[in-house]
Amino acid sequence: MVSTHEIDVEGHKLVTFKLNTNSTGIPVILLHGVTLSASVWKTDMFFGDYKDGPCYALSLPGHYPAILPPEFSKQMLTPEMFVKILTQAIQQLVGEQPVILVGHSTGGFAALALAAFNPDIAHGVVSLSGFAQGKWTGFYGLQQKIVSQGAIGHLLFKLSFQSSLIHSRIYRQCWRFVLFDTKAFFSFPKLDTLIEDVYQDTKHLDWDAMAHYFNMMPDIDITPMLSQITAPTLIVAGDKDSIVPPSQAHLITQHVPNSKLVIIKKVGHMLFVENPSKYTKILNNWFYYPTKLIRED
């Protein structure tokens, strides 16, 4: 059963889906990637077999059904803003209790920023295809370049993404831009549910808000803060990730003191659907045996 809860933080409307509603113990906060939504986490295998605490899928600022404050500008999109807004949201959910932060892509960046700027909040951190430096590559890197070209670039950016939402079948095929193992992705047992859940939210995205993300992320770098992370940290990346290169995972590992790195071979940016069995094994191994060295076969 999934329950929905709205959170207001300094004019930001955020939304969380509570999973494992009957569980007690250490809470898990699940943070999604840019242009996606908290609905991506409704497919339970995305956070492994963790049943030892409630799991909250929390929307990133500006990602539907989250809404930015009316006066929000791209200059406000900083690591400090992420930490301030998400920390207050998490405290509304669980109080001062430390949490396990699990984030994919921009959600991985947010998880790392939270743990770096506010170490007391993190019992553990999992970065999935996450980054410390926000200059992307591949299709998303191209969109960062396009949106930076003034009003025309802003318009082309919006048209590029909005054209993928004409129909769910088109949207499904557009995921190819972030994949390496397309065969595994399209044979994922819960793909129809995943696509439908995320598609319904993505249709309502504020593309001006998304333009803020693509505009400002290339200038963001939290590398100097990573050494402040004290919680056990798992970094997982695909060796064929075309959006966030694996070099980001190595960079994070070099700077986070108590960290473990796993590179999954022959997968791209969506590692949890390109190799779900390997992904789930890695996550469960870390959740229940965090001191055990994890190696990729």
pLDDT at 287: 80
- Give the number of other Cβ atoms within 10 Å of residue 165's Cβ: 16
- Is the distance from CB of 55 to CB of 19 less than 8 angstroms? yes
Q: Is the pLDDT at 124 greater than 80, yes or no?
A: yes
Cβ pair 98, 122 in contact under 8 A? yes
Instruction: Indicate which CATH number applies to the domain containing 36.
Output: 3.40.50.1820
Specify if 295 maps to a domain.
no
* 294 in any annotated domain: no
Domain membership of residue 7 (yes or no) is: yes
Condensed to tens digits (0 to 9), the pLDDT of residues 257-267 reads 999 999 999 99
- Indicate whether 257 belongs to any domain: yes
Q: Three-state secondary structure along the chain?
A: CCEEEEEEECCEEEEEEEECCCCCCCCEEEECCCCCCHHHHHCHHHHCCCCCCCEEEECCCCCCCCECCCCCCHHHCCHHHHHHHHHHHHHHHHCCCCEEEEEECHHHHHHHHHHHHCHHHEEEEEEECCCCECCCCHHHHHHHHHHCCHHHHHHHHHHHHHHHHCCHHHHHHHHHHHCCCHHHHHCCCCHHHHHHHHHHHHCCCCHHHHHHHHHHHHHCECHHHHHHCCCCEEEEEECCCCCCCHHHHHHHHHHCCCEEEEEECCCCCCHHHHCHHHHHHHHHHHHHCCCCCCCCC
What pLDDT, on the 0 to 100 scale, is given for residue 167? 93
Question: What are the structure tokens assigned to 218, written together?
Answer: 């290339």
State yes or no: pLDDT of 229 exceeds 60: yes
Under the banding of pLDDT at 50, 70 and 90, the label for residue 293 is very low
Cα–Cα distance measured from residue 135 to residue 133, given in angstroms and rounded to the nearest whole number: 6
In the structure, what pLDDT confidence band is assigned to residue 209 with cuts at 50, 70 and 90? Answer: very high
β-bridge partners, 126 = 102, 234
Nearest to 40 by CA among 281, 269, 284, 295: 269
The residue range of the domain holding 109 is 3-288
More confident residue, 217 or 296: 217
Average pLDDT over residues 65-90: 93
Q: Is residue 282 part of a domain?
A: yes
The per-residue pLDDT of the chain, averaged, comes to 91
Residues 268 and 284: their CA atoms lie apart, in Å, by 21
Distance from the Cα of residue 288 to its chain's centroid: 22
Number of domains in the chain: 1
Q: Work out the percent of the chain whose per-residue pLDDT is above 70.
A: 94
Q: Are strands 122-128 and 99-104 parallel, antiparallel or unpaired?
A: parallel
Backbone phi, then psi, for 44, in 5-degree steps? Answer: -60, -25
**Residues 120, 98 contacting (CB under 8 angstroms):** yes
Are 146 and 160 spatial neighbours (Cβ–Cβ below 8 Å)? Answer: yes
Q: What is the pLDDT of residues 169-205, one digit of tens each?
A: 999 999 999 999 999 999 998 899 999 999 999 999 9
In sequence order, the 6+-apart residues with CB closer than 8 A to the CB of 277 are none
| Cβ-based neighbour number of residue 291 at 10 Å | 7
